[in-house]
Amino acid sequence: MMQEHTEYQRSIEIIRNAIPRMSELKIPITPNNYAVWYEYLNDSNQELRDEMDALLSRGQPITNNEMRALYERYLEKNDEKLQVAKQALGQVVNALMQHIDQAGGHYSRFSSELNSIASSLEEDTSGEDLNALMDRAMRATRAALKHGEELKQQISSLASEMEEVRNRLAHSQEQARRDALTGLLNRLAFQEILEQLPAMAETDGHLPCLLILDIDHFKRVNDTHGHLVGDHTLRQVAQEIEASIRGRDQVARFGGEEFAVLLRDTPRSGCVAVAENIRSNVEKTLVELPADLAQDLVLSVTISIGGAHYRIGEPAEALVERADRNLYRSKQEGRNRVTWEEAVPVS
């Protein structure tokens, strides 16, 4: 069984190498030429191999006359060589048939032709008959290879289409998680992140903080300068907030002129400093408006922030509610400030 498997693998290897190599050398793929090439690759006839190596090494194309001479010298004039060619063709046909069986139904239309050739090889075969069988086998082989290449191209094309669909789907899914105006995460995506708070607290080694931020008097900006200026202001504030965080810290547009920041990579003792840094950066920023939106208009805004530290085991809604209460306190106490519900621990 092992020997049959080895012979099968060797035949497959010859099939894989023979026709491409003959095409590369511009040797016509005829039954006689294929029989010579098969015998050469099979490495069972040293004289043929030596002569073929000599022809290949000279750096010139092998002519039809030279291939015909090799066939006549080593295959056609000797009954033993005829059997070698017959055996070689039989191995090729069997290998093709096994390959077809492994490939499933894609090559089934070639099975009947190969079965017919295999049956003919079991009978007494003359050189002329063998040539005809080789010709049929070559046609079947070329057809199978062509069909295989077409199938490969079809599969490759389908794979490319599937990859494109997958990329479009991934892009759509990512877009669905983003706020169209600012490019930040939207509220739904941010809430999904908040649902992971218990796992974050367990793996990070410290408890995260949540900031809820709101642009002060934003309605006044819209009413005075119009919604296009308001949109531009939202985008610039979003950029300032995003530039103030690091690593796995996340920022989202929470709704309207409200933003949320989850400080995951900031130790608890640093949350107050980060919140104050965000507030200060926004206050110092002059909103740059496009020329078509305003004439020499210099616009600045401030934000109010409410902060809360995550408590182990609490639901995300509770953390958001506490941060939102502190935001309300910042608004009530004069705006442009950060409010926490408790003192931040030193460690």
Tell me if 25 sits within 8 A of 61, measured CB to CB: yes
* Inter-axis angle of helices 271-284 and 227-243, nearest 10: 140
Q: Is 272 exposed, middle or buried (0-12, 13-18, 19+ CB in 10 A)?
A: middle
Residue 24 in tokens: 């590369």
Is 192 tagged catalytic?
A: no
- Enumerate the β-bridge partners of residue 287: 299
Place of tokens 């509610």: 321
Q: What is the 8-class DSSP label of residue 285?
A: P
Question: Can you tell me whether residue 179 is helix, strand or coil?
Answer: coil
Return all residues near 295 (Cβ < 8 A) that are at least 6 apart. none
Distance CA 274, CA 211 (A): 10
Q: Is 161 exposed, middle or buried (0-12, 13-18, 19+ CB in 10 A)?
A: exposed
Phi, psi of 207 (to 5 degrees): -90, 135
Tell me if 211 sits within 8 A of 157, measured CB to CB: no
Residue 325 in tokens: 């209460």
Place of tokens 């004289």: 47
Alpha helix segments (H runs only) across the chain: 2-24, 31-42, 46-57, 64-71, 79-103, 111-121, 127-176, 187-194, 197-204, 218-225, 227-243, 271-284, 316-332
Of the residues 128, 192, 257, 276, only one is catalytic, namely: 257
Residue 246 in tokens: 């690091």
Tell me if 304 sits within 8 A of 337, measured CB to CB: yes
Distance CA 193, CA 183 (A): 17
Catalytic residues: 257
